[in-house]
Amino acid sequence: MAARLGIGMVGYAFMGRAHSQAWRNVAAAFDVPLRPELAAICGRDPGGVARAADRLGWAASETDWRQLIERDDVDLVDICTPGASHAEIAIAALDAGKHVLCEKPLGNSVAEAEAMAAAARRAAPGALAMVGFNYRRVPAIALAASMVADGALGTIRHVRASYLQDWLSDPDAPASWRLQRQTAGSGALGDLGSHAVDLVLHLTGLDLTEVVAVTETFVAERPLPAAGGSGLSATAAGGSVAVDVDDAFCALGRLAGGATVTLEATRVATGRKNALRLEINGTKASLAFDLERLNELVIDEGDAAARRLLVTEPDQPYVEGWWPPGHVLGWDHTFVHEARDLLNAIAAGVQPRPSFDDGLRVQRVLSAVVDSAASGSWQKV
Amino acid sequence: MAARLGIGMVGYAFMGRAHSQAWRNVAAAFDVPLRPELAAICGRDPGGVARAADRLGWAASETDWRQLIERDDVDLVDICTPGASHAEIAIAALDAGKHVLCEKPLGNSVAEAEAMAAAARRAAPGALAMVGFNYRRVPAIALAASMVADGALGTIRHVRASYLQDWLSDPDAPASWRLQRQTAGSGALGDLGSHAVDLVLHLTGLDLTEVVAVTETFVAERPLPAAGGSGLSATAAGGSVAVDVDDAFCALGRLAGGATVTLEATRVATGRKNALRLEINGTKASLAFDLERLNELVIDEGDAAARRLLVTEPDQPYVEGWWPPGHVLGWDHTFVHEARDLLNAIAAGVQPRPSFDDGLRVQRVLSAVVDSAASGSWQKV
Amino acid sequence: MAARLGIGMVGYAFMGRAHSQAWRNVAAAFDVPLRPELAAICGRDPGGVARAADRLGWAASETDWRQLIERDDVDLVDICTPGASHAEIAIAALDAGKHVLCEKPLGNSVAEAEAMAAAARRAAPGALAMVGFNYRRVPAIALAASMVADGALGTIRHVRASYLQDWLSDPDAPASWRLQRQTAGSGALGDLGSHAVDLVLHLTGLDLTEVVAVTETFVAERPLPAAGGSGLSATAAGGSVAVDVDDAFCALGRLAGGATVTLEATRVATGRKNALRLEINGTKASLAFDLERLNELVIDEGDAAARRLLVTEPDQPYVEGWWPPGHVLGWDHTFVHEARDLLNAIAAGVQPRPSFDDGLRVQRVLSAVVDSAASGSWQKV
Amino acid sequence: MAARLGIGMVGYAFMGRAHSQAWRNVAAAFDVPLRPELAAICGRDPGGVARAADRLGWAASETDWRQLIERDDVDLVDICTPGASHAEIAIAALDAGKHVLCEKPLGNSVAEAEAMAAAARRAAPGALAMVGFNYRRVPAIALAASMVADGALGTIRHVRASYLQDWLSDPDAPASWRLQRQTAGSGALGDLGSHAVDLVLHLTGLDLTEVVAVTETFVAERPLPAAGGSGLSATAAGGSVAVDVDDAFCALGRLAGGATVTLEATRVATGRKNALRLEINGTKASLAFDLERLNELVIDEGDAAARRLLVTEPDQPYVEGWWPPGHVLGWDHTFVHEARDLLNAIAAGVQPRPSFDDGLRVQRVLSAVVDSAASGSWQKV
């Protein structure tokens, strides 16, 4: 029987629900060397967190994340809070010898990310840290990464990565913590752009050496949300809140070796719901992916034939935990895969990827985007 | 706090794993009035079922389904066995006052299905029975059904339903219990065709009045599987097993009101993995669906515009339990939806759908297909 | 310089315009051994046909097709009239030693088609006859045919062919000659179904041995068209006209060798404009085609990868006459290809395909569909 | 009967063939007020141009474009030569009082384009000039333009335009005049990028105010073509030719009003044959287009429904000249539409669009791209 690994989670909103599902299901889907136990969940509101614990399957609840870290039954701290608190919690947990899974983006600044990466380096290998770029665990993306690594695309010449959503298209869409720099660090850039940047770096295995960028806030003021729960920290004047993060960013860049890159993230692309789109053109082949059809990967080999792979075959990444061919997976399965890989890495005592150093690398790109948008000039990463 | 409902499951293979996942997760995803408890799981191999219980989250295991039914902590019996044992287990469970969820097809014959439907009628409302046509719970299908019911398609003129897989395209693909009449009842017809028939009836709300059909077994003998676990009951001669079920069926039919129907299911459609495809043409609009892209529903309104709906909006069926728009669901989410609806029906004391009578109605169509293929003539249903 | 071949065309409506364009352009696009000269066009209305001649590029016009046939400058008679006059014109032209291109379906009955095929046999090789199933000349279809012939699909197990349009979805869509048996012979069956049947036979290279079918006229009476030009021969009562042809047919069949076939054509599939859809499943691979995306052919080879071929490469059929890769062709290019192949066959003195015998073979299937729909039983072809 | 307009064409390669087809067919497809007569075609090789005249339907041939301009039977000069000769020919023709249709890009430099635009202004209205951005005449693009103009998209926030081909992916693909600055002016930028820029300006109706860009030549030397006809002007050393134009460019820009723009063109996007892709996100709706499926336009209205319009309805732009719904058009039909619109403008004495001023506006953007790539900084247009 597999050994137990006690999980303590901070935060129980969107990401907390998705991660809880992963911890509940990973050992049923996959042969994992460690059996996660949902020891305790933490949130500031005692009633809310107790209800979340009951509903999401956690044995206990806490209201202070420092208490959570100190619990003997917590071996791994899973951080699902807004970016502003990532650094403090992650560093404390790692310093306390606990493994850490931290949602993306790693922190709200390069300085925070550097401190976190330093903490991860000094905690290893006793405590291991991973950042939650879950899209690396979409089977189609994992397959794409291995194809690129195997040379199937040849030399990469062009990369296009965009992450398009539209929940802020409407100027009357309400404010939330995601629209405030103090909590979220940035807007579409950190929330969506960080995924796009991580995937460009991960899929190509190359550094993004320089960027030139614009950021834009199309709607500078938004109404307060009707009900609470928005996590807004700012005082609102006259029923509206100033938006101090970007609605969108758009960048041009270069990979080591000379490939061109276009990068974009937006929350105002009307009609796009969750369109993380990737396209890589290599000398031998091209690939294309859209998160709205995440079971599919399109490969072009120069013969005018786009091969739409349905990535649900048993020998494709992660699929062995699931169902027969054609029984498609959803967005949330990626978190189960993430949990599997993290448990495997902890059991083997090896560094899980994406590491905090990987997270830092993304943060440096986000920072270069901000600097370029401010200065109007190319920025080295 | 919600009352508990003890679940006992028979079978722990493909469907058992999918149903276990549903019971583990339904109360986290949805506000359900009854909290399922995974009380006990049953299988013939003591070691195998014990390991399955541990892995899938069941508190206990049994090796005799009669014992399972008698357990006080089992309020609902979930039957995930091959079709041959459905009738016996379901009738015993219902007669013992237990609720029943039974995988499809309901039975292996009309006689079995009639007996099961009769048992369900006499057990109600104290014990309620549902048959597991889970595809009714794909959000896009549920949305389609409500659109048809609301008259959005107008009068229905044509229906096309096909369920295409290819795992038997290779003549050397091995035999299993699914290729033997004694256990499976039929081949593609019962396994895949039953889903297609149920959806035609469910989506249109109409009876299929008559059919003419062919069935075909393209590969009459198949090798024994390399390892065990195939559930084969027949003695094999010379390393190969005779196949006595259909690889495919193909039918033409009529709905009440005169609409034409083409119906097809096959396991030898090379390249199709899980392509359950539906198309309905009405006087006002048409709709199309493919299970390989189950988050999408295509609506044509006669203006040369095919509207591809991404059915992940919070006000669409079942989506409120999950994630923001564009965060797509997988095949297995349908079982969570099925569990939710069953728990709701039990709590409310109302008949869940699809009922055993619905399952019987499908069985009559399957039987008419077999009769027509044998006689070469149109068959009334 | 290439020798001249004088063309005489009968009819100048939809098909007449499309064929004229082909004759005007074929020698510019392709190296053809005979240069077509648009000698004369024939229609009953003197003013109308004169205007058509001027506009479409014909040197002269005639009002009597018998005169057209007798002209010395007419070597080939191109018949673009409704089906009812095909037999008389084609037989007269062939008997006069003129080559014939005849629009599909060949005739309005098997008897007519037999007489036409007999005339073609006795006229050959001095005069050659071809029937205008132009979709054989879609590059993607021609490529598909050669792939099947080369064994790329292995043994064929399933064929699905449907031709879906919607211009009669609206019950108030007006009547025309296409809705009258006397002129059109049948409805969707002959107009659209003949294409589908021809392609099934052509692509598979197999005979359709038996069918069972239904036909349906959903709207039995339609209003008179607002203006003239409908070609209606019947007297209309009270402003409406009885429809005595099918709106749709639907059939189940068998190919020699046992493959199943579903065949369908309809004019009431709301939202489908010109959706001739083909799908063939073989033991090695499958292919799919939709005329609404006629530059594309989808090949599935059993590895869960659908290869979407963009059939615009210079080494693919007919493409050498046109543009660089990716510069897509339209529906009307098929007639240019048809003209090219006919000119090549005439110059070489070989039988062009599809021959009148091919057209007769289609007609026998259409007739079997009608007979089966009437008798309710399987019908040998 | 319509008056005649004599056409004289310079060049008979790819574009010459496409334009000839347009002049041959426009009066059959559309009711045009002037009937084009294919008077004379001009090329340097006497034998080649005579054969082209015969094949493409021209009454005469010339070997000196100055002679062509002087012919009395030439009212309009259609320039289908490489960019290097556009300015000289166009200015001479306009100064001689002849109408001009000039292929894109207008010239090889802003200076040339300015001189051409000046010539066009002084020749009007007696002689009218148009530049051949034929993609404005794709029905789906024309429909998109009218939708944007009517406000259907609301305020535009993002534009993505890329034109991807792959005929230079292979480093061994041979050199041609298209890879030499002296003849072609630039590479992907002028050839493909000019189309993308024109469509961004045309569709949005906005100015592109500033850009930052990179250009790249991935393969700096290419082999000589096997046969002649490449139009190479440079002396080749050792069997290979230096490439002094871009294989690709990539730019970031701003539209007046603040919308972000990504612009890209490349000849090394493996697997893309003719993928001119456009996406515009507005506050009310988004639209998407791909030239490889040029009959389709996708509209997203924020309700998670992508409406794929099949732009073949009789009331959509240009469709009235062709066929019933669903009978799709090809790439070359755009030239027929261009010819129609030019004939209409000439007959009405109004300035056809895109005018030489429109062409100049595109040229200024191309120039800003080159300057930005050289300087590494944002460039005002």
Residues in chain A: 381
Closest Cα to residue A163, out of A81, A281, A105, A249? A249
- Please list the pLDDT of chain D residue by residue as tens digits (381 residues): 579 999 999 999 999 999 999 999 999 999 999 999 999 999 999 999 999 999 999 999 999 999 999 999 999 999 999 999 999 999 999 999 999 999 999 999 999 999 999 999 999 999 999 999 999 999 999 999 999 999 999 999 999 999 999 999 999 999 998 999 999 999 999 999 999 999 999 999 999 999 999 999 999 999 988 765 566 655 555 678 999 999 999 999 999 999 999 999 999 999 999 999 999 999 999 999 999 999 999 999 877 788 999 999 999 999 999 999 999 999 999 999 999 999 999 999 999 999 999 999 999 999 999 999 999 999 999
Pairwise CB contact (< 8 Å): A307 & C310 = no
B147, B153, B156, B158, best to mutate vs chain C, most C CBs in 10 Å: B158
Assign C232 to helix, strand or coil: coil
Strand partners, C36: C5
Residue of D167, D294, D331 with shortest CB distance to C323:
D331
pLDDT of residue A158: 98
Pairwise CB contact (< 8 Å): C251 & B251 = no
pLDDT of residue C239: 79
* Residues in D lying within 8 Å of B, measured between beta carbons: 299, 303-313, 325-326
What's the rounded Cα separation, in Å, for the pair B179 and B172?
Answer: 13
* Reduced 3-state DSSP string for chain D: CCEEEEEEEECCCHHHHHHHHHHHHHHHHCCCCEEEEEEEEECCCHHHHHHHHHHHCCCEEECCHHHHHHCCCCCEEEECCCHHHHHHHHHHHHHCCCEEEECCCCCCCHHHHHHHHHHHHHHCCCCCEEECCHHHHCHHHHHHHHHHHCCCCCCEEEEEEEEECCCCCCCCCCCCHHHCHHHHCCCHHHHHHHHHHHHHHHHHCCCEEEEEEEEECCCCEEECCCCCCCCCCCCCECCEEECCCCCEEEEEEEECCCCEEEEEEECCCCCCCCEEEEEEEECCCEEEEEHHHCCEEEEECCCCEEEEEECCCCCCCCHHHCCCCCCCCCCCHHHHHHHHHHHHHHHHCCCCCCCHHHHHHHHHHHHHHHHHHHHCECEEC
Residue B211 parent element (H or E): strand B208-216
Pairwise CB contact (< 8 Å): A309 & C305 = yes
- Between strands D3-10 and B221-223, the pairing is unpaired
Going from the C-alpha of D133 to that of each of C293, D101, D147, D179, the distances in angstroms are 24, 10, 19, 21
The string of pLDDT tens digits covering residues A62-80 is 999 999 999 999 999 999 9
What's the rounded Cα separation, in Å, for the pair D168 and D174?
Answer: 8
Q: Which residue has the tokens 């909103």?
A: A13
Pairwise CB contact (< 8 Å): C326 & A305 = no
Nearest chain B Cα to D326, which residue? B304
Q: Residues C63, C43: contact at Cβ < 8 Å?
A: yes
Assign A338 to helix, strand or coil: helix
Pairwise CB contact (< 8 Å): C307 & A305 = yes
The string of pLDDT tens digits covering residues C24-54 is 999 999 999 999 999 999 999 999 999 999 9
Q: Residues B42, B63: contact at Cβ < 8 Å?
A: yes
Cα of B229 to nearest chain A Cα, Å: 16
Residue of D305, D310, D326 with shortest CB distance to B307:
D305
D252, D262, D278, D379, best to mutate vs chain A, most A CBs in 10 Å: D252
pLDDT of residue C304: 75
pLDDT of residue D305: 83
Residue of C169, C301, C376 with shortest CB distance to B378:
C376
Q: Which residue has the tokens 């809070």?
A: A81
Pairwise CB contact (< 8 Å): B158 & C281 = no
Pairwise CB contact (< 8 Å): A333 & B330 = yes
* DSSP secondary structure string for all residues of A35-100: EEEEEEEE-S-HHHHHHHHHHHT-SEEES-HHHHHH-TT--EEEE-S-GGGHHHHHHHHHHTT-EE
Closest Cα to residue C251, out of B277, B246, B214? B214
C301, C307, C315, best to mutate vs chain A, most A CBs in 10 Å: C307
Query: Which chain A residues have a beta carbon less than 8 Å from that of C307?
Result: 305-308
C163, C195, C332, C335, best to mutate vs chain D, most D CBs in 10 Å: C332
Residue B370 backbone class (left: φ over 0; alpha: ψ -120 to 50; beta: rest): alpha
Cα of A351 to nearest chain C Cα, Å: 33
Tokens of C98: 């003129």
Q: Residues B295, B309: contact at Cβ < 8 Å?
A: no
Pairwise CB contact (< 8 Å): A305 & C305 = no
- Between strands D248-255 and D260-266, the pairing is antiparallel
Cα of A352 to nearest chain B Cα, Å: 24
In the 8-state DSSP scheme, what is residue C275? E
Pairwise CB contact (< 8 Å): C325 & A304 = yes
pLDDT of residue A331: 98
Pairwise CB contact (< 8 Å): D248 & A262 = no
Tokens of A45: 């509101």
Closest Cα to residue A45, out of A241, A236, A228? A228
Closest Cα to residue A165, out of A200, A201, A137, A193? A193
- Between strands C260-266 and D99-102, the pairing is unpaired
Query: Which chain C residues have a beta carbon less than 8 Å from that of B374?
Result: none
The string of pLDDT tens digits covering residues C129-141 is 999 999 999 999 9
Which chains border C (3 or more CB–CB pairs < 8 Å)? A, B, D
Rounded average pLDDT over C342-356: 98
Going from the C-alpha of C34 to that of each of A77, C98, C337, D14, the distances in angstroms are 81, 15, 14, 24
Pairwise CB contact (< 8 Å): D327 & C274 = yes
C308, C327, C329, best to mutate vs chain A, most A CBs in 10 Å: C308
Ranges under pLDDT 70 in chain B: 1, 227-238
What's the rounded Cα separation, in Å, for the pair A80 and A59?
Answer: 18
pLDDT of residue D199: 98
Tokens of A278: 């990737």
Query: Which chain A residues have a beta carbon less than 8 Å from that of D160?
Result: 162, 264
Please, which residues have CB within 8 angstroms of residue D227's CB and are 6 or more apart in sequence?
A: none
Ranges under pLDDT 50 in chain A: none
Neighbours of A79 (CB within 10 A): 27
Size of interface B-C (CB pairs under 8 A): 146
Nearest chain C Cα to B283, which residue? C169
Cα of A319 to nearest chain C Cα, Å: 13
pLDDT of residue D226: 74
Nearest chain C Cα to B269, which residue? C281
3-state helix, strand, coil in chain C (%, to 5): 35, 25, 35
C58, C166, C270, C328, best to mutate vs chain D, most D CBs in 10 Å: C328
Pairwise CB contact (< 8 Å): C308 & A313 = no
Cα of A72 to nearest chain B Cα, Å: 24
What's the rounded Cα separation, in Å, for the pair B267 and B250?
Answer: 12
Pairwise CB contact (< 8 Å): B274 & A24 = no
pLDDT of residue A234: 53
Closest Cα to residue B90, out of B43, B131, B58, B59? B131
Cα of C98 to nearest chain D Cα, Å: 26
Domains of chain D: 3-134 (3.40.50.720), 137-380 (3.30.360.10)
Residue of C305, C312, C313 with shortest CB distance to A308:
C305
Tokens of D43: 């090329």
Please, which residues have CB within 8 angstroms of residue B227's CB and are 6 or more apart in sequence?
A: none
Rounded average pLDDT over C164-192: 93
Residue of A304, A310, A325 with shortest CB distance to C309:
A304
ipTM score of complex: 0.95
Cβ burial, residue A254 (10 Å; 0-12/13-18/19+)? buried
Nearest chain A Cα to D279, which residue? A269
